[in-house]
Amino acid sequence: MAAHLKKRVYEEFTKVVQQQQEEIATKKLRLTKPSKSAALHIDLCKATSPADALQYLLQFARKPVEAESVEGVVRILLEHYYKENDPSVRLKIASLLGLLSKTAGFSPDCIMDDAINILQNEKSHQVLAQLLDTLLAIGTKLPENQAIQNRLVDVACKHLTDTSHGVRNKCLQLLGNLGSLEKSVTKDGEGLAVRDVQKIIGDYFSDQDPRVRTAAIKAMLQLHERGLKLHQTIYNQACKLLSDDYEQVRSAAVQLIWVVSQLYPESIVPIPSSNEEIRLVDDAFGKICHMVSDGSWVVRVQAAKLLGSMEQVSSHFLEQTLDKKLMSDLRRKRTAHERAKELYSSGEFSSGRKWGDDAPKEEIDTGAVNLIESGACGAFVHGLEDEMYEVRIAAVEALCMLAQSSPSFAEKCLDFLVDMFNDEIEEVRLQSIHTMRKISNNITLREDQLDTVLAVLEDSSRDIREALHELLCCTNVSTKEGIHLALVELLKNLTKYPTDRDSIWKCLKFLGSRHPTLVLPLVPELLSTHPFFDTAEPDMDDPAYIAVLVLIFNAAKTCPTMPALFSDHTFRHYAYLRDSLSHLVPALRLPGRKLVSSTLSANITPHEDPSHQFLQQSLERVYSLQHLDPQGAQELLELTIRDLQRLGELQSELAGVADFSATYLRCQLLLIKALQEKLWNVAAPLYLKQSDLASAAAKQIMEETYKMEFMYSGVENKQVVIIHHMRLQAKALQLIVTARTTRGVDPLFGMCEKFLQEVDFFQRCFIADLPHLQDSFVDKLLDLMPRLMTSKPVEVVKIVQTMLRQSTFLHLPLPEQIHKASATIIEPAGESDNPLRFTSGLVVALDVDATLEHVQDPQNTVKVQVLYPDGQAQMIHPKPADFRNPGPGRHRLITQVYLSHTAWTEPCQVEVRLLLAYNSNSRLPKSPWVEGGEVSPQVETSVIEGTIPFSKSVKVYIMPKPARR
């Protein structure tokens, strides 16, 4: 009977709980709390079979538990644990205990005793392993409590002898994570129980189960990560594990060897079967090199990656990695690379391949040839030839890192990197080109190498070609033939792929300025001048001719004798190019021409730059805005905006600042116009017309402020405050206008409240910056805040109106570096007259290729918009993988856009453009506004508040045909 009553009580209790949960109010959480453990208890009691209980537990695990109720839940769980006979249920309970002890704000030391207790009586290996996992969670939660940690370590040591690999695994994991770092001497005088965690773990390197061996190595690595200095003796143990049967063991052992080699690089180790000794880091390097030809590709990738970070290795070991010691029928043979080098140094160039050109030379002493244990020998040769491209990429990366730290190695590995330009996988080719660029400071390309490099210019992949242009920008070429070759190949590239024009010009600019002396003897040939005859004047619009001129002019900058070789038209073309392509053509000191500006600009530092001064001056002029009458202020603003815009067009490096300031001033201008006296003093019937103007202004200001906030990179917090302030003013204007046009008080209530919320929001966000906003609109508004909160909407509007009209102009501090985000759509070019035909209802894929400049986080912000002639607009989110990052501040979007529409009678154009999506909340600190942690941060940021178009739209001709039946 009693039991029956109890059940009823609980039943009612749960009912209540469920109703409250249905209401779902985060603030009422407290009410549901006591029920959690109780409900669980009932559920578990009700469960008739282990399967049922398991179901309840699974359901329970889906909901979060608050910190306060964790303890109760844990008690209930433990209680059931003791009663439970089924191991699977116990396992689930144990895992739940682990999860619960991770709850933030809950201190798990109270459940540790119980956990250890149940551990001692547990028979099932799986449950044991899970319990140890729980203990690990508890231990990691309490990193300072040394006593608990020691106790846990003791428990782990006790269970290390378990027969199940799972239990041993977990024990080792626990030891690795919690084992005390210093060799602490225990206090008890028996002289026992001194635990050297390293030794204990080390003993399990020879466990019979590969999983346990792996876990032991991982635990050792964990100890290292936590800051324990590993013993050198581990090295020998780890070396033995390199020949383990199981790949995961070998892979972990390679890591361990690497760690030890970084710890004791200079230690001396003996070479087995000889009396010699070598440095440990060299020995380890040899061993890891050997693993590059392991049977498992996972190990190979691991080994190749680690090789890159072993910079302390001796240079002769390093160089062996590129030497495979070729032989043919026991006779030494030279590699193709060596032959190429020899050919080059002997001056003989065009060699038709002869039969037996690679004939082996001298005899090799059979005893001296080592085929496998030769350590580092040819490791990279193998790695770069590997079947799996993952290994090849890892090898290229490692090569890059080693070459950066050793110039002599860089010189040697060049041949191999050049060979990788012909890899079958594009990623590998790209990676090796990038690598080469990174090490290009250390190297000079031989002509035959340059030849191979340049051959890749014909690659059909734009990424590859552009990477190669970047590479050529910073390569050193040794001869004038090399320069000529490069120019010829680049021009060939230009005719084949005209879209590469800009990239090629830029490349030639650097090529010219790096090698002035090599270009000098080529000038007459390149300009096709003749000592006696005048030659025809080349076409000025020919991209190839411009390319040649870019090369020559940049070389001439540091080579004063060169202009003497120019013909008359070259000077004319110089003047033209200097104006039209000023970023590519430098200022030259030309004989017989007074180029005052160029001499001047050469001597002044950027700070004294007149254009910069001009910018400062025009902005300072605006400070005096307050003192002017509205008419004068408007004129001044208009003037300044015009000046700034012109400046931005002329000086590309100042374009960002100029545009940014001009936009701000335009906002101010709009605001002033909207607040003009006469507008507000007209009679009520005329409101409508004026308010149209004002609300349009408010809308435009809002748009402009969003542009300012999100379209520029390098905007700092102090600018953001000003921008937000301007936006707040616009919102105030909107409020006033609507208040004047709408009748009735009810809608006003909501609007006023919203506006006040905005003000409050502003205050909370920029509380630190408020002192800078003396006398501003918001400053005054905040002073009156208490009054505003209590007054009626009509009054609020009145107050706001007066304050808005009294508000002063805030000076916008100029940021250090600011760039406007811009985008150019390269593809589709929008020139095609042939419509894309497709069946209506189906989709057609349109390739979009665009370059983005100065866009922050393009993966989340850049969208593609398609506008159909019927006004329908479609926004497409490109995949993150569609963005590439070819250089700092630059991105490239290559994606496909799917178009579809119902049938049209004739082809028509759709517009494609890029949008910048923004969300003004993402800038703010999140914690106070995200309620109850229910909205995950990802959802929060991906919400698009609005978009700004930032590229010219491109028209694409399409024609959806009706489907044929």
Partner 1 sequence: MPEIRVTPLGAGQDVGRSCILVSIGGKNVMLDCGMHMGFNDDRRFPDFSYITRNGRLTDFLDCVIISHFHLDHCGALPYFSEMVGYDGPIYMTHPTQAICPILLEDYRKIAVDKKGEANFFTSQMIKDCMKKVVAVHLHQTVQVDDELEIKAYYAGHVLGAAMFQIKVGSESVVYTGDYNMTPDRHLGAAWIDKCRPNLLITESTYATTIRDSKRCRERDFLKKVHEAVERGGKVLIPVFALGRAQELCILLETFWERMNLKAPIYFSTGLTEKANHYYKLFITWTNQKIRKTFVQRNMFEFKHIKAFDRAFADNPGPMVVFATPGMLHAGQSLQIFRKWAGNEKNMVIMPGYCVQGTVGHKILSGQRKLEMEGRQVLEVKMQVEYMSFSAHADAKGIMQLVGQAEPENVLLVHGEAKKMEFLKQKIEQEFRLLPDAKKPRLLHGTLIMKDSNFRLVSSEQALKELGLAEHQLRFTCRVHLHDPRKEQETALRVYSHLKSVLKDHCVQHLPDGSVTVESILIQAAAHSEDPGTKVLLVSWTYQDEELGSYLTSLLKKGLPQGAT
Q: Tell me if 359 contacts partner 1 by CB under 8 A.
A: no
Could you say which residues in the range 460-479 bind partner 1, by CB under 8 A? 460-461
- Shortest approach of partner 1 to residue 426 CB, angstroms? 9
The helix or strand, by DSSP H or E, that contains position 36, with its residue range, turns out to be helix 29-46
Q: Tell me if 274 contacts partner 1 by CB under 8 A.
A: no
- Shortest approach of partner 1 to residue 427 CB, angstroms? 11
Q: Tell me if 3 contacts partner 1 by CB under 8 A.
A: no
Q: Tell me if 362 contacts partner 1 by CB under 8 A.
A: no
How far apart (Å, rounded) are the C-alpha atoms in residues 335 and 711?
Answer: 55
Nearest to 963 by CA among 795, 838, 799, 832: 838
* Neighbour tally for 518: CB within 10 Å: 19
- Shortest approach of partner 1 to residue 256 CB, angstroms? 17
Is residue 875 helix, strand or coil? strand
Is residue 872 helix, strand or coil? coil
- Shortest approach of partner 1 to residue 410 CB, angstroms? 18
Q: Tell me if 24 contacts partner 1 by CB under 8 A.
A: no
Nearest to 562 by CA among 600, 537, 591: 591
Stretch that binds partner 1, among 42-50, 173-181, 386-394, 699-707 (CB under 8 A): 386-394
- Shortest approach of partner 1 to residue 238 CB, angstroms? 15
Nearest to 165 by CA among 202, 199, 132, 118: 132
Cβ atoms of 814 and 661 closer than 8 Å: yes
How far apart (Å, rounded) are the C-alpha atoms in residues 282 and 450?
Answer: 33
Give the contact letters, 206-245, x = binds to partner 1 (CB under 8 A), - = no: -------------------------x-x---------x-x
Which C-beta is closer to partner 1: that of 397 or that of 459?
Answer: 459
Structure-token match 């090898």, residue found: 395
Cα dihedral angle (644, 646, 651, 654), rounded to 10 degrees?
20
Question: What is the DSSP annotation of 452-508?
Answer: HHHHGGG-S-HHHHHHHHHHHHT--B-SHHHHHHHHHHHHHHHHH-GGGHHHHHHHH
Give the contact letters, 389-408, x = binds to partner 1 (CB under 8 A), - = no: x-------------------
- Shortest approach of partner 1 to residue 299 CB, angstroms? 12
Structure-token match 């990193």, residue found: 143
Q: Tell me if 455 contacts partner 1 by CB under 8 A.
A: yes
Which C-beta is closer to partner 1: that of 343 or that of 540?
Answer: 343
Q: In the set 62, 353, 879, 964, which binds partner 1 (CB under 8 A)?
A: 353
- Shortest approach of partner 1 to residue 266 CB, angstroms? 17
Could you give the angle at the alpha carbon of 824 between the alpha carbons of 823 and 829, nearest 5°? 155
Encoded tokens for 79: 């209680």
Provide the sign of the torsion angle of the four alpha carbons 675, 676, 680, 685, taken in this order.
negative
Stretch that binds partner 1, among 258-266, 418-426, 541-549, 769-777 (CB under 8 A): 418-426
Q: Tell me if 452 contacts partner 1 by CB under 8 A.
A: yes
Which C-beta is closer to partner 1: that of 164 or that of 738?
Answer: 164
Q: Tell me if 774 contacts partner 1 by CB under 8 A.
A: no
- Sheet harboring 883-887: ordered strands across? 822-827, 844-853, 890-899, 883-887
Provide the sign of the torsion angle of the four alpha carbons 67, 73, 77, 78, taken in this order.
positive
Q: Tell me if 961 contacts partner 1 by CB under 8 A.
A: no
Q: Tell me if 881 contacts partner 1 by CB under 8 A.
A: no
Q: In the set 99, 326, 485, 944, which binds partner 1 (CB under 8 A)?
A: 326
How far apart (Å, rounded) are the C-alpha atoms in residues 704 and 310?
Answer: 53
- Shortest approach of partner 1 to residue 293 CB, angstroms? 6
Which C-beta is closer to partner 1: that of 332 or that of 798?
Answer: 332
Encoded tokens for 760: 């409050």
Q: Tell me if 293 contacts partner 1 by CB under 8 A.
A: yes
Provide the sign of the torsion angle of the four alpha carbons 646, 649, 653, 658, taken in this order.
positive
Q: Tell me if 717 contacts partner 1 by CB under 8 A.
A: no
Encoded tokens for 510: 């650097």
Q: Tell me if 344 contacts partner 1 by CB under 8 A.
A: no
Which C-beta is closer to partner 1: that of 425 or that of 688?
Answer: 425
Encoded tokens for 158: 């006790």
Stretch that binds partner 1, among 70-78, 329-337, 828-836, 871-879 (CB under 8 A): 329-337
Helix H, strand E, coil C: the string for 878-895 is CCHHHEEEEECCEEEEEE
How far apart (Å, rounded) are the C-alpha atoms in residues 504 and 514?
Answer: 15
- Shortest approach of partner 1 to residue 351 CB, angstroms? 11
Cβ atoms of 486 and 514 closer than 8 Å: no
Q: Tell me if 419 contacts partner 1 by CB under 8 A.
A: yes
Could you say which residues in the range 170-209 bind partner 1, by CB under 8 A? 183, 185, 189, 191-192, 194, 196, 199
Q: Tell me if 845 contacts partner 1 by CB under 8 A.
A: no
- Shortest approach of partner 1 to residue 325 CB, angstroms? 6
Encoded tokens for 162: 């378990």
Q: Which residues bind partner 1 (CB under 8 A)?
A: 161, 183, 185, 189, 191-192, 194, 196, 199, 231, 233, 243, 245, 273, 293, 295, 324-330, 333, 335-337, 352-355, 357-358, 366, 369-373, 378, 381, 384-389, 416, 419-420, 422, 424-425, 452, 455, 458-461, 496
